[in-house]
Amino acid sequence: MGKLILVRHGETKMNAQGIYFGHLDPELNLLGKEQAKETRKILEKLNFNYDFLYTSDLKRAYETAEILNYNKKNIILAQELREINFGIFEGFSYEELKLKYPDELTKCEKNWENYNYLTGESVKELQNRSVEFIKNNLDLNKINIVVTHWGVINTLLSYYFSNGLESYWKYSVNNGGIVIIEFSNGFPILKGLNIGG
């Protein structure tokens, strides 16, 4: 059986500060590096002899992938695995947004699936690019590790297990957390959620 092993990158300073950041490119902080090391230990203990290792090309994901790459595979970078582009919200906290862009924040909360942050992208667009990347690039009969972001992971889980965005907010994967989806004749089975992290 093939496996899609999704790993959320380790923590960054912006995670700790509660800032909206998708395409901004901070590095892992010290805790984030420790989380990545712990993720590696868990994956090694589970004895996954993975065939491919994909990662978002943003530093926090790539650094996580480098740390957990115990099979020393070539790391395949992909822009398609980046976090959502938060557009005008990038770099601000929720409290700051309430002051700076109150009308846009209201629009976002009322229509979160399709709101595109004016200069960014919508959750629906994020899901489309994430799903298309998996379909077009991964052999789901193999064991694939994909190091990516909260939004990408949640859009993929929602696609596979509710066939849309209905369950997007129902998953909570922590920094360094692992999600395991097993494929049996193309049918997705959730085998693990937020392991570690």
Q: Tell me, what's the pLDDT at 112? A: 97
Residue 149 annotated to the active site: no
Given the residues 9, 63, 80, 149, the one annotated as active site? 9
Confidence of residue 85 (pLDDT cuts 50, 70, 90): very high
pLDDT digits (tens, 9 = 90+) for 42-62: 999 999 899 999 999 999 999
Q: Tell me, what's the pLDDT at 196? A: 85
pLDDT digits (tens, 9 = 90+) for 9-38: 999 999 999 999 999 999 999 999 999 999
Q: How far apart are the first and last CA of the chain?
A: 25
Residue 9 annotated to the active site: yes
Q: Tell me, what's the pLDDT at 140? A: 96
Say yes or no to pLDDT of 95 above 90.
yes
% of residues, the chain, pLDDT over 90: 96
Q: Tell me, what's the pLDDT at 71? A: 96
Q: Tell me, what's the pLDDT at 176? A: 98
Given the residues 63, 80, 83, 121, the one annotated as active site? 83
Say yes or no to pLDDT of 197 above 80.
no
Closest by Cα among 178, 156, 177 to 167: 156
pLDDT digits (tens, 9 = 90+) for 110-157: 999 999 999 999 999 999 999 999 999 999 999 999 999 999 999 999
Q: Tell me, what's the pLDDT at 1? A: 87
